[in-house]
Structure 1
């Protein structure tokens, strides 16, 4: 039995393999797909971390509310207001405070903070503090206090400017990534004590 060798058949089989150009095109497509997947994963991861950061701040506001209604002690301590202070000039932090009753209406004053300064994840920052004024919204404010006092769950929401200390029925704190402020998570607080987290769709 003899085996025959056909040059034509060998050449045909060889030509069915990948050429260098085809290989390069395939590698380029694979690289593109992997790149898109990595970008999407990064965006998803950033959105998840931003969501967690926003909920952390909202929970601190809720904690101040719980502290206030759970206060024990003498009459003066019983009426203390606990709250959170935001300052737009310090976008990477906020303060947990207990009002000492030295100002009316109650608001944060230097020295009233308790526990360490609350720091945001260094990838995120507070980009806006907004309050409702009549039928419009004012996002050009310097600071915002959200505080609570017994016996109610109601929130005292105070801010400045335009002049002196103002009071409002609702406020919004906007949080975003430092490298991308197009995607914003917001904390909404009302004077009735409601605290919600959502997207800023304005």
Structure 2
């Protein structure tokens, strides 16, 4: 079995390491990969967002399974492209990946279907966000709406921290377009669990 893994980070390194343990796997490619992954798999100079090149490569090398590790290509619809080409791929389609790619969409979806979640408000305007914070209960959580490599969440203990956080996310654009909209969320204590 030939496997293509798309991505270049620690997650893809872990996936590659696990896939390499399978006796069913004969060859592993990783696009674009990194130096660590290169010790386990053959790295290919194709960017994770170069969907057409990835599909062409998978066809050319007769890849049996492609695993998408990175969030950006998932949100961009790479799985859909592979499926359209009749290729076997592991990862959510674009219409499901939006749950990871848009915090505002996810929160609105939870609200619509009465799925328990922290209280929140979405803001496209830094001025409106700061106005909201004037009366909000502290501590509070600020989240860049889009993908920010796991770094776009700020837990603010004071109103001053929260105001500075809005500036950082929306005006200074610390996470680029991911901060065009922010989610301001109720702070909850307890253990964080991913399912």
TM-score (norm 1): 0.23
Which is richer in helix?
2
Which is richer in strand?
1
Structure with greater Cα Rg: 1
TM-score (norm 2): 0.23
